[in-house]
Structure 1
Amino acid sequence: MPYRHAYWWLLALFPLIAVAFWPGYLGQFGEAPFALHAHGITATAWLALLTLQSWSIHARRAVWHRAAGLATFAILPMFAAAGPLALQGMAMLWRTQADPFHAAFGAQLVIADMIAGPSVVLMATYAFVHRRRVGVHAAAMLATALLVLPPIVGRLLPLIPGFPVGGWAGFGGFRLAFQLAEALTLLIAIALAARTPAARAGFGFAALATAAQMVGFETIGTTPIWGRCVVLLTEIPAEPTAVAAAFVAAALLWWAWQTVPPHAIRNAAQVRAAGDAAP
């Protein structure tokens, strides 16, 4: 099986998440809004599911792996539903100028998150379509974890002694940390995509999504027309949007699952077996 040690790398993300998100979220868990809870919990659940899938297949726990695959039908739509809630919360903080940080970067972060969330859903859908091609499936599923990396690394970099916290654009060097975290993720995605042909689609898509975040943050995210779009986002009812996002994610997964029905796989295997047995 490919990526034999991937689950160790995924496990390593959890303590990093605790450190990175302690000041702005975990340390004030009871005061955080529902949208932030929904996004944080579903994103963590998705990482936990990826870890379980990676470990179970290499530990030869096929039943656990299949159960984790079926759990995708619940966790991914919930993650998709939490996305619009978090986006609208970020947009509202920017619109109301709630604090200097969101007044400066809120609109730019909205466009970055609008790229990351749907990309996770699309890569998981692609992985489901190719779930019988082990290398392609594994790469596409693991690639979704790369899009969680920039928010973690971007919060950890300013904690490094000597990091220019008063540097580029101020606010603890956030802009510099954001782009460095995205650049690191981009390099990792490109390196993994170049390893094998089976990895190109999954990790290649993660690289494209990461590059789009970097460019969008510095270009579209700073324009007046995007600012008007962000204001419009705050005026759209959040609950129907979340339900629609969950429905779209579930529909894509169901379509992908039906693309390779189990009976067709068994018939194809029987045909190959018959051909191999023929004199």
Structure 2
Amino acid sequence: MPYRQAYRWLLMLFPLIAVAFWPGYWGQLGTAPFALHAHGLTATAWLMLLTFQSWSIHARRAHWHRTAGLATFIVLPLFAAAGPLALQGMARLWRTNADPFHAAFGSQLVIADMIAGPTVVLLVVYAFARRRDRERHAAAMLATALLVLAPIIGRLFARIPGFPHGGWAGFGGFRLALQLAEGLTLVIALNLAHRSSTARFGFGLAAFATAAQMVGFETIGRTSAWNNWVMLLTEIPSMPMALAAGTSTALLLWWAWRNPLAVLQRTREPAPPATLV
């Protein structure tokens, strides 16, 4: 099986997530809005499921692996449904100048999250359709974890004492920290995509999304036209957006599961059994 140590790397993300998002989320669970809960908990659930899938297949627990794979039909649509809620919540914090951080970066962060969320869904749909090709499937599934690296690393960079205009109490260095984190994520994704042609789509798409976030944050995200669109986002009813995102994701997963893409075999040996990372 490919990427035998992947689950170990995924496990390392959880303490980093706790530290990076402690001031903005985990440290204020009692007062955090519903949208933030929905996004934070579903994203964490997805990473936990991904980690378990990676471990179970390498531990030869195929039954657990398949069961966890089927759980994707629940976790991923919930994650997708939470996406518009989180975007709208961030947009409203920016619009109302609720705090200095969101007043400065809320509008630009909307464009970054608008790229990341659908990319995760697309990668998993591709992975489902390619589940008979173990490496393509594994690469696409694992590539979803790369899209959380930049938000984690960026927040950690910005809180390093002595970081330009940063420190635990400041956020002025967040822009530089986020771009450094995006750049590091891009290098990792490109390196993984370069290692194997069968992994190129999964990690390559993660690299493309990361580059699009970097460019969008500094260009489109800083225009008045974008700000006007973010203002409009705050006025769209929340539940129809969430329902549409969750339902469409579930339908795409079902389509990919029922219609796996054929894998060209170089030999006449039968195709390997279907697996999930």
The TM-score bracket by the shorter chain reads over 0.9
The one-letter code sitting in structure 2 at the alignment partner of 1:218 is E
Cα deviation for residue 165 of structure 1 reads 2.7
In structure 1, the residue corresponding to 2:195 is in which secondary structure? coil
After alignment, is 252-261 or 132-141 more displaced? 252-261
Counterpart in the other structure of 2:72: 72
Tell me if structure 1 keeps the 8 A contact 2:95–2:231. yes
> Would you say how many aligned residue pairs link Structure 1 and Structure 2?
265
Deviations 1:135-164 (A, max 9, x none): 000000000000011111011112334321
In structure 2, the residue corresponding to 1:11 is in which secondary structure? helix
Counterpart in the other structure of 2:273: none
Map 1:128-147 → 2, pairs under 5 A: 128-147=128-147
Map 1:1-279 → 2, pairs under 5 A: 1-166=1-166, 171-260=171-260
Tell me if structure 1 keeps the 8 A contact 2:158–2:171. no
Distance 2:150 2:4 in 1: 23
In structure 2, the residue corresponding to 1:123 is in which secondary structure? helix
How does the TM-score come out when normalised to structure 1? 0.91
- Percentage of identical aligned residues: 74
CA RMSD in angstroms comes to 1.8
Distance 2:71 2:128 in 1: 13
In structure 2, the residue corresponding to 1:30 is in which secondary structure? coil
In structure 2, the residue corresponding to 1:31 is in which secondary structure? coil
How does the TM-score come out when normalised to structure 2? 0.92
Distance 1:94 1:161 in 2: 26
Distance 2:108 2:143 in 1: 23
List alignment gaps of at least 5 residues for structure 1: 274-279
List alignment gaps of at least 5 residues for structure 2: 271-277
After alignment, is 157-166 or 81-90 more displaced? 157-166
Cα deviation for residue 272 of structure 1 reads 5.4
Cα deviation for residue 97 of structure 1 reads 1.5
Question: Rg bigger for which structure?
Answer: 1
The one-letter code sitting in structure 2 at the alignment partner of 1:199 is A
Tell me if structure 1 keeps the 8 A contact 2:158–2:177. yes
